[in-house]
Chains A and B, each alone.
Chain A
Amino acid sequence: MTNGVIHWFRYASPQSFYPLAGRMIPWFATLAALLTAAGLWIGFFVAPTDAQQGESYRIIFVHVPASWMSMFLYVVMAGWAGLGLAFNTRLSAMMAHAIAPTGAMFAFLSLWTGALWGRPTWGTYWVWDARLTSELVLLFLYLGYMALHAAIDDPRRGDRAAAVLALVGVINVPIIYFSVQWWNTLHQGASVSLTRAPSMAATMLTGMLVMALAFWMYSIAAALARVRAIMLEREAHMQWTHELPEAAK
């Protein structure tokens, strides 16, 4: 066995992972803050004004990375959920549960910024564009996951049931996305497409990638913080939680 393998399995127990997570959070939070600052600077000061949409298009630097993150986090969440189902590890299920609210937040952010973009550009707050509609369905999938987990009293059953739901969702998301695009092309008259974005200048793409990275760092920090709280709650009966410095307060 290589050192790497032993290393991971040791941290698979909540007791070992708790302090490790605690040490990692400040790093990711700092990275997130720095990258956000950089991304916003690129987005608002460096990237050129768009010929057609003027300054209002700049919200794309939040809208698109938020969309990417919401979809990426769903896949990650489903991955952790699948691991928890396959290997029956408590920590995997807790990680999935910790990611969900952040993913839902990004989905909501994507919808909200999409609406803010739509208003000055197309005159309405909501358009039935393929991306926005898929994002709405994704938000419902997140809410469903959290609602199912909350509705089931037994946390172990809740973990496993929500895991099945996450896996079913992850298979469905591409299908739903495709069907919404199909639906959009069927009804040509209605479409004003936010996806027909201004042609990408290199700086615009860089800005979006930096923001995406920033959101990713933030997500990791948020998930780690949340999973620590979940661990304290779930393992309250175990000895190691009583021995923590926080518990002494």
Chain B
Amino acid sequence: MNAPSSGAVFRGIVRRDLRLAARRRSEPLFTLGFFVVVASLFPLGLGPEPELLRRIAPGVLWVAALLASMLALGRMFAADYEDGTLEQIVLAPSPLVLSVGAKIVAHWLVSGLPLVLVSPLLALQYGLPADVIAHLALSLLVGTPVLSLIGAIAAALTIGVRGAGVLVALLTLPLYVPALVFGAGAVDAKLAGLSAAPNLALLGACLALALLFAPLATATAIRISLE
């Protein structure tokens, strides 16, 4: 009998979650749909004047991506908790931190990456020039993992709690502020003709910090929720 391997556990979790997402395609599509709808509402509310739209685009698109990301958090652990799979994950012979990392990776691939890929289309709606669009996509590429990582903590803390959806929003939005400031700031800078590098570097630092601490906090929260 082979010795159990943590790598096998990690890959197994990612593969399983991706397969589940493929079976229930409606859920990831809802997240994407929400992103598109929210981004399309702002011009309707503010008027189609190109100059205005171009100015608000970085902030609006980032907030829309943030809200969509936050809505998707409900899916991260709730289903596994209800059918008992979460306990099996905790009982796997692999550090829970790694297993949590696998869940977050799978969640980002399903809920975060599509936002990054669709953002250029929405940016066209706002009349952003090509190089700014590229920076928008890049900022979301670095930023959406941060949102998934921080959101995972809140999702894990509220497993099985009544009213978890709204509570997750209250818990995560304050913690999302740095990512929002640096992400939207990067695109704003590019739009103004300045370099986006400082903001992107700070966003990257947020990602590094989140990678370091969020899985640990999430694993602790899961253990607390299951006791």
Direct contact of A and B (CB under 8 A): yes
A147 CB to nearest chain B CB (Å)? 6
In angstroms, Cα B166 to Cα A143, docked, is: 13
In angstroms, Cα B170 to Cα A143, docked, is: 8
In the complex formed, the residue of A with least CB distance to B175 is A172
Does A240 have its Cβ within 8 Å of any Cβ on chain B?
no
In angstroms, Cα B102 to Cα A224, docked, is: 43
In the complex formed, the residue of A with least CB distance to B172 is A144
**Given A164-B157, A168-B175, A140–B185 Cβ distance below 8 Å?**
no
**Given A164-B157, A168-B153, A176-B178, A144–B225 Cβ distance below 8 Å?**
no
Return the contact of B173 from the options A140, A152, A169, A182 (Cβ within 8 A): A140
Size band of the interface chain B makes with A: 20 to 34
Contacts of A147 in B (CB 8 A): 167, 170-171
Identify which of B71-79, B136-144, B213-221 touches chain A: B213-221
In angstroms, Cα B173 to Cα A182, docked, is: 18
Interface string of B146-181 (1 = CB under 8 A from A): 000000010001100111100100110111011001
Contacts of B175 in A (CB 8 A): 168-169, 172, 176
Contacts of B206 in A (CB 8 A): 175
Does B17 have its Cβ within 8 Å of any Cβ on chain A?
no
A-facing residues in B170-227 (Cβ within 8 Å): 170-171, 173-175, 177-178, 181-182, 185, 188-189, 202, 206, 209, 213, 217, 220-221, 224-225, 227
In angstroms, Cα B209 to Cα A169, docked, is: 14
Most A CB contacts (10 A, CB to CB) among B158, B178, B185 go to: B178
Contacts of A161 in B (CB 8 A): 157-158, 221, 224-225
B interface majority secondary structure: helix
Asked whether, in the complex, the Cβ of B202 is within 8 Å of the Cβ of A182, the reply is yes
Return the contact of B188 from the options A160, A179, A186 (Cβ within 8 A): A186
Contacts of A183 in B (CB 8 A): 181, 185
**Given A144-B170, A144-B171, A180-B181, A164–B217 Cβ distance below 8 Å?**
yes
Asked whether, in the complex, the Cβ of B174 is within 8 Å of the Cβ of A165, the reply is no
In the complex formed, the residue of A with least CB distance to B182 is A179
Does A76 have its Cβ within 8 Å of any Cβ on chain B?
no
Return the contact of A152 from the options B161, B177, B217 (Cβ within 8 A): B161
Query: Please, could you name 13 A-B residue pairs with CB atoms under 8 Å apart, sorted by A?
Result: A140-B170, A144-B174, A148-B167, A151-B158, A151-B162, A151-B164, A160-B227, A161-B158, A164-B217, A168-B153, A172-B175, A176-B178, A179-B177
Q: Which residues of A contact B (CB under 8 A)?
A: 85, 137, 140-141, 143-144, 147-148, 151-152, 156-157, 160-161, 164-165, 167-169, 171-172, 175-176, 178-180, 182-183, 186
Q: Which residues of B contact A (CB under 8 A)?
A: 153, 157-158, 161-164, 167, 170-171, 173-175, 177-178, 181-182, 185, 188-189, 202, 206, 209, 213, 217, 220-221, 224-225, 227
